[in-house]
Amino acid sequence: MELRKDPITRSWVITGDDIATEGLSSSTANVSGICEFCSVTTSNLHSVASMAGLAGAPWSARAVVHPAPLYHIEGETTRRGDGIYDRMRPVGAHEVLLENYKHDRQLWNSSDAEIEQFLMLVAQRIQDLKLDTRLKYVSVFKNYGKSAGQEFEHPNSQLTATTFVPRRVLYELRAAREYFVAKERCVFCDILAQDIRQELRIVEMRGDYIAVCPYAPRVPYETWILPRTHEASFERHGLNRHGSLRDLAALLRHTLQRIRSVSEEFHLVLHTSPNSLHRSSTLGYWKTIDEDYHWHIEILPVLGSKSKSYTFKEVYYSPLTSETAAKRLREVNVDVKLPGS
């Protein structure tokens, strides 16, 4: 496998002939029928980090190397030209983040304490990988449901650490910096201030966190979770404000329960700041990153009947306004508190 850069869109694509992914998509059961992710000692998977168990469990959240990783931590990128094109080795990290020791405890039916442990694991893994000078960005995402590209049955998210910043994040970084240069304010903070004042697109507020439907949604019921206090880095926020993660855990649980009332399948992605520990000497958006960027979680439901309407001539199309979506999501009954929260 190798990474190739599109010279027009400037996005990196990982490609290779006959990439072996068959057989990984439905389960990680071994020959005895036992899920290897549930195993404590017999698993052949490489455990990277884990959080202490709750209520007698051997662990509460755990990071393992992906069974068929797209990126490998060993070696150098060896970036080289191929005429007008650029290519390089897929150096980085690819991990499976196990959200819960229990096979049937997803983020929407786990306790707040369990979700808090998972969020702490995410923060720790991002912080640890950013110590590597080769890595420019760490992505954390969850694909749930067959149409969303779910790989494993055990409750999990995935993490990729790359030697480049993904295109979608680059768009956000550039837009946030341009707004900051023009107004000396964070665009995300201004969006939140207006949404709180108008009360039209708010789904729920919990402590320092807020769930909102964005003004211009890419898909119906798209929902973002953000901290109301400005912070560019999720890992710094999580590790320095450990006590507040319980509120984030509860809000994430509620939000996913609401999302699942309209679709059981969804994409979830965490957007945090790029690796500013090793600032770029050529790209300017690192210079004011702490002031102009704002970490957030994006959740995009996968609605099968509407899938063909998501894009129209390269323009996103949503048949539902964010104001109506937020109102309907607010009306969904969610668990007030689960045992152990």
Q: What is the DSSP string of 187-220?
A: HHHHHHHHHHHH-SSEEEEETTEEEE--SS-SST
**How large is the average pLDDT for residues 142-164?**
94
Answer whether residue 264 is part of any domain: yes
**Residue 123 belongs to domain spanning:** 2-162
Give pLDDT tens digits for 166-221.
999 999 999 999 999 999 999 999 999 999 999 999 999 999 999 999 999 999 99
The torsion of the CA quartet 162, 163, 168, 172, rounded to 10 degrees, works out to: 120
Together in a domain, 152 and 204:
no
Q: Is residue 336, in this structure, part of any structural domain at all?
A: no
> In terms of domains, do 72 and 87 share one?
yes
Same domain, 105 and 39: yes
Residue 304 and residue 262 share a domain: yes
Within-domain flag for 338: no
139 and 228 housed in the same domain = no
Tally the C-alpha atoms within 13 A of residue 320's C-alpha that lie toward its C-beta.
20
Neighbours of 290 (CB within 10 A): 15
Band (32; pLDDT cuts 50, 70, 90): low
The answer to whether residues 156 and 203 belong to one domain is: no
SS3 170: helix
The rounded Cα 179 to chain-centroid distance in angstroms is 24
Q: Is residue 335 included in any domain, yes or no?
A: no
Give the CATH number for residue 310: 3.30.428.10
Residues 125 and 173 in one domain: no
Q: Looking at the structure, do residues 137 and 174 belong to the same domain, yes or no?
A: no
Reply yes or no on whether the pLDDT at 22 is more than 50: no
Single-letter amino acid, residue 179: Y
Q: In terms of C-beta distances under 8 Å and separation of at least 24 residues, what long-range contacts does 8-14 make, across chains too?
A: 9/167, 10/167, 10/170, 11/166, 11/167, 12/162, 12/164, 12/166, 12/167, 14/70, 14/71, 14/90
Inside any domain, residue 242: yes
Decide which of 115, 137, 162 is a domain's last residue.
162
For residues 207 and 60, state if they share a domain: no
337 assigned to some structural domain: no
Q: How many domains does the chain have?
A: 2
The answer to whether 135 touches 18, Cβ cutoff 8 Å, is: no
pLDDT value at residue 25:
46
User: Long-range contacts for 330-339 (Cβ within 8 Å, ≥24 apart)?
Assistant: 330/202, 330/203, 330/204, 330/258, 332/257, 332/258, 332/261, 334/253, 334/254, 334/257, 334/258, 335/253, 335/254, 335/257, 337/112, 338/109, 338/110, 338/111, 338/112, 338/253, 339/111
**Start-to-end CA span in the chain (Å):** 44
8 Å CB contact between 101 and 59 = yes
141/214 same-domain check:
no
Give yes or no: residues 215 and 290 share one domain: yes
Distance set, CA 332 to CA 217, 259, 297 (Å): 20, 9, 20
Look at residue 229 and give its three-state secondary structure: coil
Tokens (6 digits) for 14: 């990982």
Residue-averaged pLDDT of the chain: 88
pLDDT band at residue 311 using 50, 70 and 90 as cut-offs: very low
Is 58 part of a structural domain of the chain? yes
> pTM for this one?
0.90
Domain endpoint, select from 162, 187, 221: 162
Query: For residue 341, is it within any domain?
Result: no
- Which of 137, 162, 187 terminates a domain? The answer is 162
Q: Determine which of 2-6, 21-25, 50-54 has the lowest per-residue pLDDT on average.
A: 21-25
187 and 144 within one domain: no
